[in-house]
Amino acid sequence: MPETDMLDRLIHTAVRTDDDVIDFVTALVERPITRQCWVLFLDERAVPISFVMPISDLPWQPDDHVEDFAALTSDVVVQMAATEVVLVWERPGESRLFPIDWEWVDACACAFAEHGVRIRAQVAVHTGGVAIVSLDDLDDLDDVSEVA
């Protein structure tokens, strides 16, 4: 369970830098338990909105549901008056991302952009820790061991 004082402080602090994103995600998720995606919402000042959307029933591989996921997130962004989101990919087990994880990162980047949802960051939470992931960091899918 996240430390309450730390979480209280973080939910009132703007998430502007990559380190801020890592601190916020670490306080919320701590350690990976199950394979799922968390959507965190930020307001116009980059302050977290007190609403978290865990999605645990995504298919193994991105498919037509990615568009549904993006559309749902877009609706919530409007309803919550959010300006951007953080996608958190919770992955227990291996401390690296696999090609299928990168497919999700790419598919969501494209689908969310089509729905006008600005992604502040995509973050992986795995046994090796918490790290921001970006398709720019991906040189070779066969050689992905850990994203720093």
End-to-end CA gap in the chain: 25
pLDDT of res. 105: 95
Task: Calculate what percentage of the chain has a pLDDT beyond 90.
Answer: 59
pTM of the model: 0.86
Q: What integer best gives the mean pLDDT of the chain?
A: 86
pLDDT of res. 8: 66
Q: Are 146 and 104 in contact (CB under 8 A)?
A: no
pLDDT of res. 7: 62
Q: Which of 58, 39, 10 is nearest to 112 (CA)?
A: 39
Three-state DSSP class for residue 139: coil
Higher pLDDT, 5 or 25: 25
- Cα separation, 58 vs 19, in Å, equals 28
In the sheet where 84-90 sits, what is the strand order? 48-55, 36-42, 84-90, 119-126, 129-133
- Cα separation, 134 vs 147, in Å, equals 9
Residue 133: alpha-carbon gap to chain centroid:
9
The token duo for 143 is: 């050689």
Q: Which residues pair with 39 in a beta bridge?
A: 53, 87
pLDDT of res. 21: 95
Higher pLDDT, 121 or 145: 121
- Cα separation, 63 vs 51, in Å, equals 26
